[in-house]
Chain A
Amino acid sequence: MATVDERELQINPIVATSVQHNTQVTSNIRNLTASLFGVAAGTLGLESYPGFIFYLVASSVVSVLLFALKAEGQPGKYFYKPLGDMWLGDVFGGLSGFVLTWTLFYGLVRA
């Protein structure tokens, strides 16, 4: 079935620089908001699983914001695979930043 995809790409080519730019924008947003959610989780004093659940819920809120404000409701226009690149794009890449600020603010504010 790869040939169907290839033919589709021949007919409707994809601009690599735009894909790169969009990936960079989303990963920037993900990283910034992930550290922000870490601040919130640490200040709220969340521990263990509730902290990670908080991160997943907050990240899906950011996904909705991306969908509504950045992709203007048409993720197919800006992302090659909207599910992987926009809805889940870089969610787990921001996890390390989240844990970093989570532990820092838990130690500073709550402990």
Chain B
Amino acid sequence: MAFFGTVLNTIGALFLTHAIYSAHEHTTAFANTPLPLDITLELLVGVIILSTGIVISADKLKPIQYAKWAGQISQEGRHGEGKYTREGEEILSEGDPYAFLGLDGGIGGKGEGRRGFFDVKGKRKEYDEWVRGKQ
């Protein structure tokens, strides 16, 4: 999409530049006469193509409803958006702001799970087994 936008911008800028140059030539040759139709049309076509290119090559909008925004993040995960810092690091999209809670780990999972809700009985059992192993 970004490539398409750049193509449109280039074509539109060429049309616009040519139309403005023609208008300038026309007014220096025949002052105080209306602009010929072809220059007007070229100018308007150039402006429309260029503004379409500007709209297309702008950043993507983000959903404002929390549910849709969070749904999009959890579906797509953190991914690059084709932008890089000056040091060459890729800029990633927004990630899950609650990832630090480790909710996806859970009691049965690999992670610690949600902090503050860790499995007390399981930990106690683990400790008992460790003590029994020592004896």
Contact = CB atoms under 8 A, between A and B. Distances in A.
Contact of A70 (B48, B61, B64, B65): B61
Contacts of A28: 58
Interface string A59-101: 0011001100111000001111000000000000000000000
Contacts of A65: 51-52, 55
A53 interface: no
Q: A interface, how many residues as a size bin?
A: 35 or more
A71 B43 CA distance: 27
Interface string B41-59: 0011001101110111011
A14 interface: yes
Interface of A is mostly: helix
Contacts, number: 98
B7 interface: no
B62 A40 contact: no
Query: Looking at chain B, what size class is its interface with the partner chain?
Result: 20 to 34
Interface in B36-87: 40, 43-44, 47-48, 50-52, 54-56, 58-69
Interface of A: 12-15, 17-19, 21-22, 25, 28-29, 32-33, 36-37, 39-40, 43-45, 58, 61-62, 65-66, 69-71, 77-80, 105, 108-110
28 contacts: A12-B65, A12-B66, A12-B67, A13-B65, A13-B66, A14-B66, A15-B64, A15-B66, A15-B69, A18-B64, A25-B58, A28-B58, A29-B54, A29-B58, A37-B51, A39-B20, A39-B47, A40-B16, A40-B44, A43-B20, A43-B43, A44-B23, A44-B35, A71-B61, A77-B65, A77-B68, A109-B20, A110-B23
